[in-house]
Structure 1
């Protein structure tokens, strides 16, 4: 059908039907809840309507929906390596921009901290710390295959008597844990520069070698990184009765409600999350200690596990928990290079940069489990 006489390209754009300038108050209303079911979010002062697109979002609908009514700039930058490609899809979703009198940041964010963080990310990109080493990841993949094959050869050659069985189990368990770390790298698209190659190899590692669906893991883990430690938004917290210890405040609240989950209480500035991610034979354990203040996308405080060749290998380099959550697509072999820069940023803004021994972190978990369990039980019985 031919266009009507007098129509212009500008009139054909959907943005003309929406207000050009928007305020934060207007944006916060469109969070997908309440009377308005629309989902708006802000990226670099531009406002986008993702109500329909969220269902088609490659990273999962919930990831993008979690930022409805909020500024998603830092999350957008952190999750997307090929930003030029993604921005092509954003053009059709653009509905306006922040009014000139509106600040670029939400009122609950510290402007100087976010500006310094974004400058730090530019520095890290210029240093090439987001580029993977193919040799490093080839050796990682090779060694986990060797361990896996050795476990089966041990049983095949020596039989199923006690000693061969235990040795084979040790090889197999170690291989499975290392596969988990490697597929974690692939899920964050930090092994190859092209996302499709990361996805393909991830399917081979987690689907074929581990027997778990990659789509399920990505759906949950993307949400975890988008909203770490936020109830109802971070799926990792949904499993906290089995894996997590929540500290005194939340343990008491949880005990009083006698529920598996509880809504996030905005009055509590801090909570403790102590989680052993993998408890397997021979104490192959990865430990992460969090004390996170709820500041969208920037950790107020957290704790690494000290660096060593063993700790790096043992935890899949996730002993650099601070750096990993700030730069989720960074290849793991570059965390140690980024750590001094992150520490300098923390020192500048008075944020404590903690790092503990592997044993010390494990002891913290045991103490926290005991303390939180006592608080929960007391609140459950007498709250």
Structure 2
């Protein structure tokens, strides 16, 4: 089979294969950890009035329960029924073994909803085993049954002998295997969707929890925004003091000296005026650079689509550009989007080792979405000091989000979303 045909075939079946693997992971977690954690939870609760050991044991078991269910929530993200986390931050000083930790655990509604899910989750999780077993059974019919079970060897001194009835069975088993494999790959996503859809009734945040998490998120993002703005003001002040202001002071001194030397030494005065002219050019360039860091003129002149195109042209590798905007976002959102794309492209240039990159910008359902990807080495993380943490803080100020997918070996895909509304398209300047 030609390599291109194999690549196309793999792209077609790859989602089903990944879902089948996820089905095995969900079934393994549900049938092992869920039941074991349910038993531990019951035992730790029973030991509270009996020996008091449960006073420290139950919060410890809760940590294990939340770790297991957090992993299951992560598996739900690709199922079409993602489940959010209802857990708030641990109160300060609430160490395991303290009354404060015990009170926080038993008064948290998420604790008891997790506990209520453990047994039903084991039952429905066992059904996810079909998402793995059906494709495996079909694959067995295609590969192992014809080659191992139906084809037999009869030595009897006459060499290898393949009985005709076994060959007929093999020819019949292969089509059945292909049919079961195709059906299994098609059914697997639905099995996982049903499991996580049901799990959402137990594990998803309640309305009150969503509001509490929302308040905490806004509080944190507001604090980050204040810190970011303060840092930006300090940067502007530093750049003005060390750059343009210093050059303007030198310019004033050069003009003053030239004025004193103009009558006695015109040649020296001319040299000082030439230096002053050069200094004024540098000061002007630094001021322009500083203004671009606040609000790039290209945004005011060409809008976000033109500004992103200018960023793509400045990258020293091929960039596929797809910008679909029917209007213009608000100026503040537009600026945040521009700098987010610029920082992501900077990471591509400095760290990825990629041969090509792509930028997709679109607007749908009240959200501006920007996707920056590359075919580089991968391994990018938000906390790796590559500037992505700053992008996340910048987006959080507008209630935006950022997700990074970057497995070792690539590709790296940075998806950024900003909620906003579009105005009418900006008129082009002549």
Normalising by structure 1, what TM-score? 0.29
Return the index of the structure with the highest Cα Rg: 2
Structure with more contact order per residue of length (Cα contacts < 8 Å, sep ≥ 6): 1
More helix by share: 2
Normalising by structure 2, what TM-score? 0.27
